[in-house]
Structure 1
């Protein structure tokens, strides 16, 4: 308990919120690597996932590659890339590792969002004379957006957690106080940085949860509301509980 209070005291220490090595600077570095990696991974994974989901081709290959990428040891991969590219390119090497870790969940969310759409909806769109491009953008992408947001949510949390490793190649972020704390045996600094990482992950998770909720098209939300109102009395009746008005 004392260590936890000391970690909170380290976070609230005014000196740690000023200067080039302050907590806000470390949070900014952490967010920079996270946003950059997720953006780059999205540029690669989302179009590929939509192509797989729309055509139904290449799903087995994508699942295999995604599974293999999830099994990669991020710490070893980071040092491997830094050793190959050189110390001067350790920044791009770290971002590349984060991108590789973010691609699988984003790719899965992109093609799964299109796969779960009722095929009758797609057939109806074709019957109306829509082209394949119009079906993708006007039907499949809006309906598949919630699962895509879930993939982005998972990928972002993966990157936030793994970006801590960037500090081991002296790239800053919230992992740097942990690395410094290990060297100095400063446990309150280590725990304080860990608390900040957890808080940042929870904040981003809550943000994506809201975005995922509002990514559901309004027509689908409007249809779900009457369904929920009609199924609740049926469940109470099945359970033997009288419905109230």
Structure 2
């Protein structure tokens, strides 16, 4: 333990920079996934036939092993941050897309019919009824995607993307246990903190009457 603390103390500036790299590639990936998945999930609720193909395609992407997908990115985008973010972006899509689609579809039809009876337009129903009722499910997908991406981002260092995986894999290559533990511990703590923060975000984004 003393050796580990000494290692962290002596290289704290480098470790903080690596943590920042890990956070950067993770949240850029999830942010891009959020921008794409949420509107797409809403659109798919209006096109049942199309939704089967899109959700099926995203499911297929999810089944591709992480290393294989990262390797596939190299011929297309080279090595570095860009291919790492691209791969993590693809992985982040399914939880948010699936939860958005499911959350909107599961809204009680009686509520939407009542809104139509009050003269609301489709857009007003979406913004004032469907999204508020589904936001907890949508944010649950965001929380899942964020935590998974934090974990998957550890592999980004294999293609030059940086992050805490650099400590883990460099430690394995040099038989440096302190480096391995520092990288693994950093990833665990970062995932735990992210889970806490996104859970709070999910809670406060949910309308008061629907909070559990």
> Could you state the TM-score of these two structures normalised by the residue count of structure 1?
0.81
Deviation at 1:83, TM superposition (A): 2.6
The Cα of 1:188 is off from its aligned counterpart by 1.9
Residue of structure 2 in register with 1:58 after alignment: 50
List per-residue Cα deviations over 1:222-241 (Å, max 9, x = no partner). xx7xxxxxxxxxxxxxxxxx
- Which one of the candidate residues 12, 21, 30 is aligned to 1:29? 21
Residue 220 and residue 81 in structure 1: after superposition, are their counterparts in 2 closer, same or farther (change >3 A)?
closer
Q: Identify the residue that residue 66 of structure 2 maps to in structure 1.
A: 74
Query: 1:233 maps to which residue?
Result: none
Gaps spanning 5+ residues in structure 2: where?
A: none
Is the contact between residue 82 and residue 161 of structure 2 (CA under 8 Å) also seen in structure 1?
A: no
Structure 1 contact 54–136 (Cα < 8 Å) conserved: no
Offset, 1:67 = 1.9
4+ aligned runs moved over 6 Å, structure 1: none
User: Does structure 1 residue 86 correspond to structure 2 residue 78?
Assistant: yes
Q: Which of 6, 10, 17 does residue 12 from structure 2 map onto?
A: 17
The alignment's C-alpha RMSD in Å is 1.8
Cα drift, residue 52 of structure 1: 1.9
Q: Which deviates the most, 67-76 or 192-201?
A: 67-76
Provide the TM-score with structure 2 as the length reference: 0.92
Query: Which structure: larger Rg?
Result: 1
Which of 141, 146, 165 is equivalent to 1:151? 141
Q: Is the Cα contact below 8 Å between 1:10 and 1:192 reproduced in 2?
A: no
Provide the rounded CA distance (Å) in 2 between the counterparts of 1:116 and 1:158: 25
**Corresponding residue to 2:183 among 190, 193, 206:** 193
Structure 2 CA distance for aligned equivalents of residues 108 and 60 of structure 1: 11
Structure 1 spans left out of the alignment, 5+ residues? 225-245
Greater relative contact order (CA < 8 Å, ≥ 6 in sequence): 2
1:205 alignment partner, one of 189, 192, 195? 195
Cα deviation, residue 56, structure 1 = 4.5
CA contact (8 A) 1:7 1:189 kept: no
Per-residue CA deviation, residues 160-203 of structure 1 (Å, 9 max, x unaligned), is 11111111122221111112101211012102210110010011
For 2:77 and 2:28, the matched residues in 1 are separated by 19
Deviation of residue 62 (structure 1)? 3.3
